[in-house]
Amino acid sequence: MRGVTLRKWLIVAALFGLAVALTAPAALAQGLEGDGCSATVNGRTLDTLDIKHPLIVEKGDTVALTGAIPRGADDGPSQTKIYVEVVGDVPVADEPGDGSFWGGTVEIPEILTSLAPGVYRVKGTATGPDWVCSGSAYIKIEGGPLTAAAAVGAVAAGAGGIGAITASKPKKGQVFYEGSSATPETSTRVAADILTIAFFFLMMLLLGIIGPSWVV
């Protein structure tokens, strides 16, 4: 019996480790791409706006991505597209340009500050006649102390956590040990729960480091 249990643990741990290893995402870096390009967001260079030091914005503020095209490049018409990353790239601006500069401006909508403030990665890509410039930076949208996303998150985490722990109890009336007066082994059960929760936090830690990072 002990061998069966150990095998179950090993299978769960192996599958979990494999899933994390296979799906480990690349680091979400920020900065500038394109030879000879330059760019700033609200006057700050992109390399300074990492997840630990994002640009702080509030309701009604604008985020202006501006930059210069490579020296000697054709300064004809260009197009700048700006995206916010939320499970994929969500386009928020598409602005035409001309001359030796590229960029675009986005106003922070009120709905975002009240529903889902937080840290976001903003990306911009500009395409000219013979050049391409792109860059990304982190911004932090400030909201109130209690937001809809925080409330939903807290309720979901609470309900999910209780359900996740109670799901390990056997079904009612389940006979697995016929003729015995078996009683639950609380200490072993608690140890298994603690180990599982430790795995959960380890997973968040891994994804937090690999995804972006710790504390802003």
Chain centre to alpha carbon of residue 164: 23
Residue selected from 103, 104, 117, 124 as contacting another protein according to rule CB under 8 A: 117
**CB closer to another protein out of 5 and 62:** 5
Q: Does 51 bind another protein (CB under 8 A)?
A: yes
Compute the least distance from the CB of residue 129 to another protein, in Å.
Answer: 33
Q: Does 173 bind another protein (CB under 8 A)?
A: no
Q: Does 172 bind another protein (CB under 8 A)?
A: no
In angstroms, the Cα distances linking 190 to 130, 165, 216 are 64, 10, 34
Asked if 44 and 90 touch (Cβ cutoff 8 Å), the reply is: no
Lookup: tokens for 3: 């061998």
Q: Is 105 exposed, middle or buried (0-12, 13-18, 19+ CB in 10 A)?
A: middle
Strands (E), 16-58: 31-33, 38-41, 44-45, 55-57
Q: Does 19 bind another protein (CB under 8 A)?
A: yes
Stretch in the footprint of another protein (CB under 8 A) among 32-40, 74-82, 95-103, 118-126: 118-126
Compute the least distance from the CB of residue 100 to another protein, in Å.
Answer: 32
Size of the site for another protein (CB under 8 A): 77
Q: Does 115 bind another protein (CB under 8 A)?
A: no
Handedness of CA 158, 161, 165, 168 (dihedral sign): positive
**CB closer to another protein out of 19 and 44:** 19
Strands 44-45 and 38-41: antiparallel
Compute the least distance from the CB of residue 70 to another protein, in Å.
Answer: 29
**CB closer to another protein out of 132 and 149:** 149
Stretch in the footprint of another protein (CB under 8 A) among 66-74, 100-108, 123-131, 151-159: 151-159
Compute the least distance from the CB of residue 174 to another protein, in Å.
Answer: 6
Residue selected from 20, 64, 112, 132 as contacting another protein according to rule CB under 8 A: 20
Residue selected from 81, 101, 118, 127 as contacting another protein according to rule CB under 8 A: 118
Q: How far apart are CA 90 and CA 83, in angstroms?
A: 5
**CB closer to another protein out of 36 and 191:** 191
Span 77-106, contacts to another protein by CB under 8 A: 85-88
Q: How far apart are CA 59 and CA 65, in angstroms?
A: 18
User: Phi and psi for 5 in degrees, rounded to 5?
Assistant: -65, -45
Give 62-118 as a 3 state SS string: EEEEEEECCCCCCCCCEEEEEEEECCCEEEEEEEEECCCEEEEEEECCHHHHHHCCE
